[in-house]
Amino acid sequence: MPELPEVETIVRDIRDRLVGDRVLAVEVIRPDILAAGLKPAGLHRALRARRIENVTRRGKNIVLEFAECTGAQHTGAQHADRSRDTSADEPLRLLINLGMTGRLVAGAEHPKADLHHIAARFRLETAAPLLYDDTRRFGRFELHDPGSWKKRESELGIEPLEAGFTAEALHLLTSRSRTPIRNWLLDQRRVVGVGNIYASEALFRAGIHPERAANSLEEPETGRLRESIRAVLAEAIRARGTTLRDYRDGQGEIGEFAGLLRVYGRENEPCLRCGTSIERGVLGNRSHFHCPTCQH
């Protein structure tokens, strides 16, 4: 569910209250949110006493950046582990992917969200705990040292709101694939951040049919698609994201973009541009929405 605008909203919400604070403890209540090989005790040991240097976003992922540990933080029993813990004096990153129903809520002394499925809790030195809630547990935590982060990051595609996402770059990328453009947009290895909602919305704005082969798009079309993606993502960020059901921002509040969606979820309702009934289709086992008159 959370696509780029939702993740960006959460990151902006929680950054100021987390940066500079220090982790006292990480409690993982539902270990199945941890990436393969990562265990609750290992995550706790790796992050305990670390200072949060920054909170950023890469695609649909939240990235908590931790400073390297200073020697003074490792005492007693921990000292015996240090020869095996090669990451102790390296910066670490915790990548959090929210899946469909993940929520990351900071300052939750008075949580406005109903957090009935808390999967992890970060106890902090100064701020109130950072809570991770995830009903379906499709979310994932990955712990990265600089080496594994470099590899992981390099496998993600272009950020659509950054300068490198030009019309030329998009046309070059789409020309190499014959998959339907809607499926193409969901693949995070090419362009990041666009999910099921904003794929339908961007294609409607660009006047492009979701089932068109990616490599059939002419340059004027990829140019329009590039503009449409950027516009819809920026507008959705301004509205603090789309809450259909589960999404909440970093304070546990809903986003307001649902009322501004033009095609997603509007099957059989009139196209806002021409009045034709919006159609629902299925690609890759997932719904998409389009206007049969406006999109070709």
Partner DNA sequence: AACGCGCCCTGTCCGC
Partner DNA sequence: TGCGGACAGGGCGCGT
Give me the least distance between CB of 135 and DNA, in Å please: 5
Nearer to DNA (CB atom), residue 85 or residue 253:
253
Place of tokens 């921990």: 78
Region of 58 on the Ramachandran plot (φ > 0 left; ψ -120 to 50 alpha; else beta): beta
The yes or no reply on residue 285 touching DNA (CB under 7 A) is yes
Stretch that binds DNA, among 70-78, 94-102, 125-133, 227-235 (CB under 7 A): 94-102
Nearer to DNA (CB atom), residue 33 or residue 49:
33
The yes or no reply on residue 175 touching DNA (CB under 7 A) is no
Burial class (CB in 10 A: 0-12, 13-18, 19+), 181: buried
- Pick the binder of DNA from 17, 57, 60, 144 (CB under 7 A): 60
**Please, which residues bridge with residue 95 across strands?**
63, 142
Nearer to DNA (CB atom), residue 50 or residue 141:
141
- Pick the binder of DNA from 112, 136, 150, 273 (CB under 7 A): 136
CB 115 within 8 A of CB 133: yes
Q: Which of residues 212-231 bind DNA (CB under 7 A)?
A: 214
- Active-site positions? 2-3, 60, 286
The yes or no reply on residue 196 touching DNA (CB under 7 A) is yes
Nearer to DNA (CB atom), residue 148 or residue 177:
177
- Pick the binder of DNA from 40, 99, 157, 207 (CB under 7 A): 99
Rounded to 5 degrees, what angle do the CA atoms 121, 102, 290 make? 170
Burial class (CB in 10 A: 0-12, 13-18, 19+), 169: middle
Token readout for 262 is 């033009």
Per this entry, what is the length of the chain? Answer: 296
Burial class (CB in 10 A: 0-12, 13-18, 19+), 86: exposed
DSSP state of 167: H
- Alpha carbon distance 49, 44 (integer Å): 9
CB 62 within 8 A of CB 35: no
The yes or no reply on residue 287 touching DNA (CB under 7 A) is yes
> Cβ contacts of residue 99 below 8 Å, gap of 6+?
1, 134, 136, 137, 138, 139, 140
Binding mask 236-265 for DNA (x = CB under 7 A): -----xxxxxxx-------x----------
The yes or no reply on residue 147 touching DNA (CB under 7 A) is no
To the nearest 5 percent, what fractions of the chain are helix, strand and coil? Answer: 30, 25, 45
Nearer to DNA (CB atom), residue 101 or residue 127:
101
The yes or no reply on residue 186 touching DNA (CB under 7 A) is yes
Stretch that binds DNA, among 53-61, 66-74, 103-111, 216-224 (CB under 7 A): 53-61
Nearer to DNA (CB atom), residue 197 or residue 237:
197
Give me the least distance between CB of 110 and DNA, in Å please: 22
Question: Which positions touch DNA (CB under 7 A)?
Answer: 1-3, 6, 32, 36, 59-61, 97, 99-100, 116-117, 135-138, 176-180, 183, 186, 188, 195-197, 214, 241-247, 255, 284-287
